[in-house]
Amino acid sequence: MMANVHSDLLATIAGIGGVLIFASLIGWVLQRRYSPNGENAVVENLNDRTRAWWVMAITISVALLGGRTGVLILFFICSFAALREFMTLTNASRADHNTLVAAFFVVLPVQFYLVWIGWYGMYSIFIPVYVFLLLPFVSALSGETRNFLIRISEMQWALMICVFCVSHVPALMNLTIPGHEGRGVLLIAWLVITVQLSDVLQYVWGKLAGRHKIAPRLSPSKTVEGFLGGALSATAIGMALNFMTPFTLWQAGLMGLCVTMMGFLGGLVMSAIKRDRGVKDWGHAIAGHGGFIDRLDSVLFAAPIYFHLLRYYWSV
């Protein structure tokens, strides 16, 4: 069984590598023809994105090959970085110092520890119940009431998105699915590939055929044509990769539509927050992609839904 898992995973990684090599060759040709001195912004952005994807693909591949431990460490780091990015755009003040310390160095590690030991009954409610009820007390003890509701709401939303939702990716490896034992890493690979390809293909379809904007005030680059083309293309790829999952072909199609839709909605929600804060990106950690949240936003919203659908309909 484990040999088959590694074989399927290596084949998937090799396929991703082939796609990136192809994209790099296209970028090289476009740069020589249209942007030899870096004057074409679109070509330069494309090449920046491709180089960033190489780094991200290698990092994710190493984590997946590392199994449960590698996946947990990777997404713990991503969660910490995403929470840091989110908190830089909030109204947190000196009065919230202890609350921030608790969020980063107590709540986040405990959530991932609970995932590590597989305690579903606790990691599924730890943040949305216990932390949401008790953490505000820490800020209240400071005695600072100015913007208290705003500060606490932002903190809770940050933990929900950047910690709770992210932790559902490694939690996929805790699921016991008949006939699919020991293949949790492939469930993660399928989710990441399908959702991230949807983002990429929505961008490509939008550039090629985009005419009608979906939400111009939130994300001017998103179009109806781009969304439909990207979501349907990514769903088709997800169906072709159904060997990585317990899904039949039509089930992979339905799940693909579900996660790509959640990813799209997540992107709009996070864009709304950025517009509210007057920033273009969440950060600048990834060249051509912005910050960690800019790359994780789709997965953030898709992961919990994907996890619970798998748990309730396929897991035992």
Question: pLDDT tens digits, the chain, 316 residues: what are they?
Answer: 555 666 777 887 888 888 788 888 888 888 888 777 777 776 776 777 777 778 878 888 888 888 889 999 999 999 999 999 999 988 888 889 999 999 999 999 999 999 999 999 999 999 999 999 999 999 899 888 899 999 999 999 999 999 999 999 999 999 999 988 888 889 999 999 999 888 888 888 887 887 888 888 877 778 889 899 999 999 999 999 999 999 999 999 999 999 999 999 998 898 888 888 888 777 666 555 567 787 788 899 999 999 999 999 998 8
Q: Report the distance separating Cα 35 and Cα 84, nearest Å.
A: 36
Structure tokens at 184: 């949790």
Say which residues have a Cβ less than 8 Å from residue 130's Cβ, sequence separation at least 6. Answer: none
Task: Give φ, ψ of 286 to 5 degrees.
Answer: -120, 110
Rounded to two decimals, what is the model's pTM? 0.89
Asked if residues 263 and 296 have their Cβ atoms less than 8 Å apart, the reply is: no
Handedness of CA 140, 115, 80, 287 (dihedral sign): negative
DSSP strands (E only) in the chain: none
Structure tokens at 87: 């908190």
Hey, what amino acid is at 193? Answer: I
